């Protein structure tokens, strides 16, 4: 299927399906709250608790419930009207951070450093991005900078083969900074438009990880003082509120410029995207709802908000 064929209906269907667990929990809960009562103070309190359980976070849940209480519904509020109102308010929170990852043609190559703890889907995300960039006509190169995990290197090489893009690798346990340097030198020599570098995500020793990422940045800047041009933090939606801690840690370790949220299809905690947007204000570049190359797409605030509330996007 071409991207043109899959750019609207196919993706929206997958997004709605991917957010199905979150949407069902919210829509069923809202329906239950309003089944036998009006939108009174007690109902608003129950809706606030429901939004908290969906990982929107207490401050946002309180604000959304409070805003609902101020709205003048034409008749007794039904569940659909409440979901519509909530979707509009959520979209308002998300719109300022919905910013696709844009490659700068003045940077050749545009260097993207992917960071995050192991298991978030970081390597897969890089592979999916590479596939999309390649399909869009960019000359892409990948670097398997998680040299401590042979499985990560192998996985990235598989994505490289699928996308038809080269992958720079090194020996297991080798110096990630040296590999990043060699990859950038090669990408410059071969005229690549974009170089995406995978990194390790071991958090058992924050100091070591900080030193490793700082070294990668230092050596990249020996070849291009503006690199990396984007530092993308990949988060797993199934971790819920733990994603907040990961943002805090990696924001301290690296100059995180944007987020990608994966595995929304495996979670009933899709509201965490809203909480992250509100708390950190970092651009959300893309969301993932499956394993396929087309299951990672640029983040759209309205589509996400409506899908989260179980509405047709």
pLDDT digits (tens, 9 = 90+) for 181-238: 999 999 999 999 999 999 998 765 678 888 899 999 999 999 999 999 999 999 998 8
The topology (CATH level 3) of 110-300 is: Rossmann fold (3.40.50)
Mean residue pLDDT across the chain? 90
Residue 75 is predicted with a pLDDT of 58
Judge if pTM exceeds 0.85. yes
Residue 38 is predicted with a pLDDT of 81
Residue 205 is predicted with a pLDDT of 66
- Domain boundaries of the chain, sorted by first residue: 3-97, 110-300
3 pLDDT more than 60:
no
* Closest by Cα among 131, 141, 133, 99 to 232: 99
Q: State the sign of the Cα–Cα–Cα–Cα dihedral 216, 218, 219, 224.
A: positive
Residue 119 is predicted with a pLDDT of 87
Alpha-helix residue ranges (DSSP H) falling in the chain:
3-6, 9-18, 20-34, 41-53, 58-70, 79-94, 122-135, 150-163, 176-189, 206-223, 242-253, 272-280, 301-308
Residue 294 is predicted with a pLDDT of 83
Enter the CATH code of domain 3-97.
1.20.120.140
> Where does the pLDDT of residue 2 fall: very low under 50, low under 70, confident under 90, or very high at 90 and above?
very low
Residue 197 is predicted with a pLDDT of 98
pLDDT digits (tens, 9 = 90+) for 91-125: 999 999 999 999 999 999 999 999 999 889 999 99
**Given strand 284-288, what is the order of strands in its sheet?**
167-168, 140-143, 194-197, 110-115, 230-236, 258-262, 284-288, 296-298
């Amino acid at each position: 299927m071409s991207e043109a064929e899959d750019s609207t209906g196919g993706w929206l269907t997958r997004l709605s399906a991917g957010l199905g667990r979150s949407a069902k929990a919210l829509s069923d809960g809202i329906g239950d709250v309003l089944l036998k009562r009006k939108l009174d103070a007690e109902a608003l309190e129950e809706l606030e608790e429901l939004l908290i359980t969906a990982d929107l976070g207490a401050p946002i849940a309180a604000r959304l419930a409070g805003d609902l209480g101020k709205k003048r519904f034409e008749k007794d509020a039904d569940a659909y009207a409440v979901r519509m109102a909530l979707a509009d308010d959520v979209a308002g929170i998300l719109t300022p951070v919905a910013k696709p990852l844009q490659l700068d043609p003045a940077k050749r190559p545009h260097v993207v450093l992917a960071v995050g703890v192991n298991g978030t889907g970081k390597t897969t995300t890089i592979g999916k991005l590479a596939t999309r960039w390649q399909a869009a006509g960019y000359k892409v190169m990948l670097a398997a900078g998680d040299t401590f995990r042979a499985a990560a290197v192998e996985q990235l090489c598989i994505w490289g083969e699928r996308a038809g893009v080269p992958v720079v690798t090194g020996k297991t346990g080798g110096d990630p900074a040296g590999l990043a340097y060699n990859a950038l030198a090669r990408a410059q020599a071969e005229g690549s438009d974009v170089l995406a570098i995978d990194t390790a995500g071991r958090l058992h020793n924050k100091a070591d990880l900080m030193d490793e990422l700082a070294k990668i940045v230092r050596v990249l800047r020996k070849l291009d003082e503006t690199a990396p041009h984007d530092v993308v933090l990949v988060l797993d939606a199934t971790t819920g509120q733990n994603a907040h801690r990961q943002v805090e840690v990696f924001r301290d370790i690296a100059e995180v410029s944007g987020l990608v949220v994966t595995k929304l299809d495996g979670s009933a905690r899709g509201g965490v995207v809203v909480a992250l947007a509100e708390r950190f204000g970092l651009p959300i570049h893309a969301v993932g709802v499956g394993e396929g190359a087309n299951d990672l797409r640029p983040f759209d605030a309205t589509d996400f908000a409506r899908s989260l509330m179980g509405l047709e996007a």
